[in-house]
Amino acid sequence: MLVENRFAVRAPYSDDLRDIMSIAKAKESREWLSHWSELTREPTPLVPLQGLARELGVARIDLKDESKRASLGSFKALGASIALVRLIQRIWPERNYQAKDLFQGKHAQALSNFTVISATDGNHGRSLAAAAHDIGCRCVIVLHKNVSMEREEAIASHGATIVRIAGNYDASVEEAARLAKENDWRVVSDTSYDGYEEIPRDVMQGYGTIPEEILEQLEVGANDACPYTHVFLQGGVGGMAAGIASYLNERFGAKRPTYIAVEPKQADCLYQSAIAGRAANATGSVDSVMAGLACGETSPLAWRFLQPSVDYFLTIDDGEAVEAMRVLASGQAGDAPVVSGESGAAGLAGLMHLVKNEELRIKTGLNDQARILLISTEGATAPAVYEELVGKSASAVLASQSKWLDQACV
């Protein structure tokens, strides 16, 4: 289902929003993250999908492959880590902790009794656990019943203590808050709520690395127009979408691209927010194969950025996400094969959904002049689940990708 956002505008980036998230802070976060050994030094690949663009009847499709961001396999590595650094700096301003020294574990002894906690569907918790391990503090991660054992094991491998609950993601958020209060721990969450905005802001600010890299990769000059007419953004609580949109809005102002947010039908909190005109809750079960997007409550802070900028909110079926995973894995129409996880492929699933319906294609302007940016937010973060859904292993897809790249260089 598609809903047009009646509150979306095309205007210069407001000072109120710039005070919360800005290109300047995104650049600072990116520089700090360059000192963390878990992250790759080079930008993640921007993969042209020229064959798929022809098949779908658009001018261009580029896919930012965040599976190559780090060994963590997800864009979430950019958010949780920088939020943890900024939290530590706020708690102990007199110690003048520098990001480089924190990431290198130089203050591990001083921070050994400091504990952070978060709920997660997998990627955020794994990233927080990895950052906490390298910085030297303790980490507790609350997992709900639908998080796979593969994802639990990946988080635990970084030394985090795991707490399992019987409920869904939103219940795990509540349990993390309860444990934090009971034990005097600090919550590092990617969703905001009343009285809790600084850390989610820092998480979202870390995601500004993605659009900055893209514009550099395309060599977009300071006075150049936006290279894309449309950007598809995964939903969830709205943090990633807000982080990307805020950067592009500040850079391009009224000439920003059209944003289309995509989320599961059963976890439609952003879709419902667009209808209500305020941050709202999902109406479905929330459970979805798109685990990273299976969120029931919109982040109020993220909504402050999404309400004036996202043009359309789209819900998709789980089957559409799986189909998009397979399309990317196959290297359809001669494109490079890409490993994209259940949530990572949601943007492509949204694009495919819209172009198959002529009315929706026309409504959203997805014509033969459209230039599309997709962000594959994760790779095979649960390898067995990926293989079951795609019909081949991630390693097999990567082998095909390597072969394609070798042939392209001949």
pLDDT in tens, 103-154: 999 999 999 999 999 998 878 899 999 999 999 999 999 998 888 888 899 9
Catalytic entry in 25, 64, 65, 76 = 76
Report in angstroms the alpha-carbon separations of 209 from 78, 79, 80, 124, 293. 8, 10, 13, 16, 21
Q: Give yes or no for a contact between 125 and 118, defined as CB atoms under 8 angstroms apart.
A: yes
pTM for the predicted model, two decimal places? 0.94
* H helix or E strand, kind and range, residue 206: helix 198-206
pLDDT attached to residue 408? 81
Q: Give yes or no for a contact between 310 and 233, defined as CB atoms under 8 angstroms apart.
A: yes
CB neighbour class for 98 (10 Å; exposed up to 12, middle 13-18, buried from 19)? middle
pLDDT attached to residue 295? 84
- Bridge partners of residue 138, in order along the sequence: 115
Question: Annotated catalytic, 19?
Answer: no
**Whose CA is closest to 132, among 161, 97, 152?**
161
Token pair belonging to 178: 């309860």
Compute the Cα dihedral for 38, 41, 43, 45 and give only its sign: negative
Indicate whether 329 pLDDT > 90. yes
C-alpha–C-alpha distance, residues 317 and 237, integer Å: 18
pLDDT attached to residue 409? 77
C-alpha–C-alpha distance, residues 241 and 308, integer Å: 12
Domain 80-189 coded CATH 3.40.50.1100: yes
- Beta-carbon neighbour count of residue 48 at 10 Å? 14
C-alpha–C-alpha distance, residues 66 and 73, integer Å: 7
C-alpha–C-alpha distance, residues 163 and 147, integer Å: 12
Question: Annotated catalytic, 265?
Answer: no
C-alpha–C-alpha distance, residues 184 and 178, integer Å: 10
* H helix or E strand, kind and range, residue 229: none
Q: Give yes or no for a contact between 72 and 129, defined as CB atoms under 8 angstroms apart.
A: no
Query: What is the CATH topology of the domain spanning 2-71+203-408?
Result: Rossmann fold (3.40.50)
CB neighbour class for 371 (10 Å; exposed up to 12, middle 13-18, buried from 19)? middle
The mean of the pLDDT values for the chain is 95
pLDDT attached to residue 206? 94
pLDDT attached to residue 410? 60
CA terminus-to-terminus distance, the chain: 44
> 204-236 pLDDT, tens per residue?
999 999 999 999 999 999 999 999 999 999 999
Q: Give yes or no for a contact between 125 and 173, defined as CB atoms under 8 angstroms apart.
A: no
pLDDT attached to residue 381? 87
C-alpha–C-alpha distance, residues 213 and 103, integer Å: 22
> 33-62 pLDDT, tens per residue?
999 998 988 999 999 999 999 999 999 999
Q: Which amino acid is at 321?
A: A
- In the chain, which residues fall in CATH 3.40.50.1100? 2-71+203-408, 80-189
Catalytic entry in 62, 65, 121, 170 = 121
**Whose CA is closest to 230, among 351, 334, 91?**
351
Give how far the C-alpha of residue 189 lies from the chain's centroid of Cα atoms, to the nearest Å. 14
Collapsed DSSP state (helix, strand, coil) of residue 146: coil
pLDDT attached to residue 50? 97
Lowest-pLDDT choice from 108-117, 285-294, 333-342: 285-294
pLDDT attached to residue 215? 98
